[in-house]
Amino acid sequence: MNQFIRTKNYILEYIKIELKTLKEYKTNMFMGFVTSISYFFSQIVVLLIIYNSFNDLVNWSFYEYFSFFLFSNAFGSLAGIFYYKRALKGDLLTGIFNNHLIRPIHVFVMYKMSSSIFFILFEFLIEFISLIIFLIYYSNLINVLNLLLLIPFILLGVLLEIMSGSILDSLAFFIKSNNFAIDLHSNIKQVYYRYPSIMFKGLVYKFSFFIAVTYVAVFSTLFLFNRISYLLFFKIILLLILLNIIFAFILYLLWFFGLKKYEAYG
The pLDDT of residue 70 = 92
Sign of the Cα pseudo-torsion (79, 141, 231, 200, in order) = negative
Range of the domain at 108: 2-265
Q: Provide mean pLDDT across the span 22-33.
A: 70
Q: Which residues contact 259 (CB under 8 A, 6 or more apart)?
A: 107, 173
pLDDT in tens, 194-204: 888 888 888 88
The pLDDT of residue 71 = 93
The pLDDT of residue 205 = 84
SS3 107: helix
Is-contact 189 217, C-beta < 8 A? no
Give burial (CB, 10 Å; 0-12/13-18/19+) of 224. buried
The pLDDT of residue 228 = 92
Q: Which carries the bigger pLDDT value, residue 27 or residue 171? A: 171
Phi, psi of 193 (to 5 degrees): -75, -25
Count other Cβ atoms within 10 Å, centred on residue 89.
Answer: 20
The pLDDT of residue 235 = 94
The pLDDT of residue 57 = 67
Give the pLDDT band of residue 253 (cuts 50, 70, 90).
very high
Q: Where are the alpha helices (DSSP H) in 81-229?
A: 88-94, 107-114, 121-137, 144-170, 179-194, 202-207, 212-213, 220-224
The pLDDT of residue 264 = 58
**11-19 contacts: CB < 8 A, separation 24 or more?**
11/109, 11/113, 14/113, 15/118, 18/116, 18/118, 19/118, 19/121
The pLDDT of residue 4 = 72
How far, in Å, CA of 192 to CA of 196, rounded?
6
Average pLDDT, the chain: 84
**C-alpha dist (Å) from residue 85 to 11, 118, 167:** 18, 11, 13
Count other Cβ atoms within 10 Å, centred on residue 29.
Answer: 16
pLDDT in tens, 116-172: 777 778 888 888 999 999 999 999 999 899 999 999 999 999 999 999 988 988 988
How far, in Å, CA of 192 to CA of 199, rounded?
10
How many domains are contained in the chain? 1
Give the pLDDT band of residue 88 (cuts 50, 70, 90).
confident
How far, in Å, CA of 65 to CA of 107, rounded?
41
The pLDDT of residue 38 = 83
Give the pLDDT band of residue 108 (cuts 50, 70, 90).
confident
Looking at this protein, which amino acid is placed at residue 80? G
